[in-house]
């Protein structure tokens, strides 16, 4: 641990093409680090918990920036697009409003001005112990300090604990899941597309990563298909403070409503497990049903089935239940 809040030295590379960035990251392997807006990365560096020798700054790669409408009526968002651009984009606001709303709830205006969508989706876990440099399971040790009798686990998971109890901290990730977004991943073996729901991985798959990205791979873009364009959306985040704070729980929903009947729906919650949690049970409960208080209540109850709270996060159960109720009622 030792020195904190002071930037250590590293070799900085500033490529202006994706190919050059991939080449550099491929050469540096485990010693390399991809840098976007730096809001997550600089904390790691300054606290000296992660010490990459080579940092590859992606912000000079123009091809990875911007929001483009696609021929099929969807959009493609470059991974280096800032959260402010997404929040303000007319096309995202008018057609995929749940994402604009989610982006607008991240951190603070300053962080959204520099923070990128790629960095938001690829950010690491926010568990206190892990961030502080404690040698926990996720850091290669053999204890989860948050999951001990005295462990501070108010922010931690309700599902998916497997040695680690950290949650997915991203506000935009659940919105990507409900929009059926596809993540474009580039690496030494070319390009592949991964559905948003499969992009995020839990500790049972690999405790050292939060996404499917292998060392040397980059998220280059997010493709949102037209399927949910113009649907009824809902996004709500509950945090201890209204700005500059991570979600305790967030909910993203998309619904197709005909008359008063919910024809189809997608629900996903963040900060309740290590990946955004798709609430398929809720979707099944509401599909084909007329919207009502009773349905909203039933959906809320079904959302929390099987939740296994830790010592200090029982409050997340009624919180998630209420957020789902409100989403069904107010989307």
Evaluated on CA atoms 218, 223, 224, 225, the torsion sign reads negative
Residue whose C-alpha is closest to residue 278's, from 256, 252, 298, 296? 252
Walk across the sheet containing 190-195 and list its strands.
Answer: 67-69, 75-78, 218-224, 182-187, 190-195
Window contacting ligand FAD (CB under 6 A); options: 8-16, 34-42, 131-139, 251-259: 34-42
User: Which is nearer to ligand FAD, 241 or 305 (by Cβ)?
Assistant: 241
36 binds ligand FAD (CB under 6 A): yes
To which residue do tokens 């830790």 refer? 310
123 binds ligand FAD (CB under 6 A): yes
The distance of closest approach from Cβ of residue 186 to ligand FAD in the complex, given in angstroms and rounded to an integer, is 9
Q: Tokens for 241?
A: 């403070």
User: Which is nearer to ligand FAD, 75 or 185 (by Cβ)?
Assistant: 185
User: Which is nearer to ligand FAD, 114 or 152 (by Cβ)?
Assistant: 114
Q: DSSP letter at 86?
A: H
- Residues 93-112 binding ligand FAD (CB under 6 A) are 106-107, 111
User: Which is nearer to ligand FAD, 186 or 255 (by Cβ)?
Assistant: 186
39 binds ligand FAD (CB under 6 A): yes
- Residues 208-237 binding ligand FAD (CB under 6 A) are 213, 218-219
User: Which is nearer to ligand FAD, 168 or 302 (by Cβ)?
Assistant: 168
116 binds ligand FAD (CB under 6 A): yes
> b vs e for 1-19, b when ≥16 Cβ sit within 10 Å of the residue's Cβ?
eeeeeeeeebeebebeebe
User: Which is nearer to ligand FAD, 80 or 320 (by Cβ)?
Assistant: 80
Among 124, 147, 180, 197, the residue binding ligand FAD under the rule CB under 6 A is 124
Cα 102 from Cα 237, distance rounded (Å)? 8
Q: What angle do the packed helices 316-330 and 293-303 form, to 10 degrees?
A: 140
81 binds ligand FAD (CB under 6 A): no
Residue 39 parent element (H or E): none
Exposed (0-12), middle (13-18) or buried (19+): which is 30, by Cβ within 10 Å? exposed
Residues forming contacts to ligand FAD in the complex (CB under 6 A) are: 33-41, 43, 58, 79, 83, 106-107, 111, 114-116, 118-120, 122-124, 169-171, 213, 218-219, 244-246
């Amino acid at each position: 641990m030792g020195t904190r809040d002071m930037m250590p030295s590293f070799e900085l590379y500033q490529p202006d093409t994706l190919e050059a960035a991939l080449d550099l990251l491929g050469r540096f392997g485990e010693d390399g680090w991809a840098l976007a807006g730096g809001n997550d990365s600089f904390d790691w560096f300054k606290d000296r918990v992660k010490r990459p020798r080579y940092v590859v700054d992606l912000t000079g790669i123009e091809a990875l920036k911007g929001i483009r409408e696609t021929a099929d009526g969807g959009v493609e968002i470059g991974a280096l697009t800032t959260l402010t651009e997404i929040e303000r984009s007319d096309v995202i606001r008018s057609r995929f409003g749940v994402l604009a709303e989610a982006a607008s709830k991240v951190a603070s205006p300053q962080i959204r001005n520099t923070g990128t969508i790629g960095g938001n989706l690829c950010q690491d876990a926010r568990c206190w112990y892990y961030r502080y440099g404690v040698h926990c399971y996720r850091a290669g040790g053999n204890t989860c300090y948050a999951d001990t009798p005295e462990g501070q686990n108010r922010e931690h998971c309700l599902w998916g604990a497997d040695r680690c109890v950290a949650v997915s901290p991203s506000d935009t990730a659940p919105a990507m899941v409900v929009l059926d977004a596809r993540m474009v991943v580039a690496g030494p073996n070319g390009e592949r597309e991964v559905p948003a729901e499969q992009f995020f991985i839990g500790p049972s798959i690999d405790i050292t990563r939060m996404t499917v990205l292998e060392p040397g791979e980059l998220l280059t873009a997010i493709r949102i298909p037209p399927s949910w364009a113009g649907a009824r959306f809902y996004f709500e985040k509950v945090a201890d403070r209204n700005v500059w704070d991570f979600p305790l729980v967030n909910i993203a929903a998309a619904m197709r409503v005909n008359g008063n009947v919910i024809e189809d729906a997608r629900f996903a919650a963040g900060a309740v497990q290590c990946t955004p949690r798709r609430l398929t049970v809720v979707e099944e409960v509401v599909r084909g049903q007329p919207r009502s208080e009773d349905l909203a209540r039933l959906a809320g109850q079904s959302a929390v089935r099987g939740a296994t709270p830790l010592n200090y996060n029982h409050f997340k159960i009624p919180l998630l239940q209420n957020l789902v109720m409100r989403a069904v009622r107010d989307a």
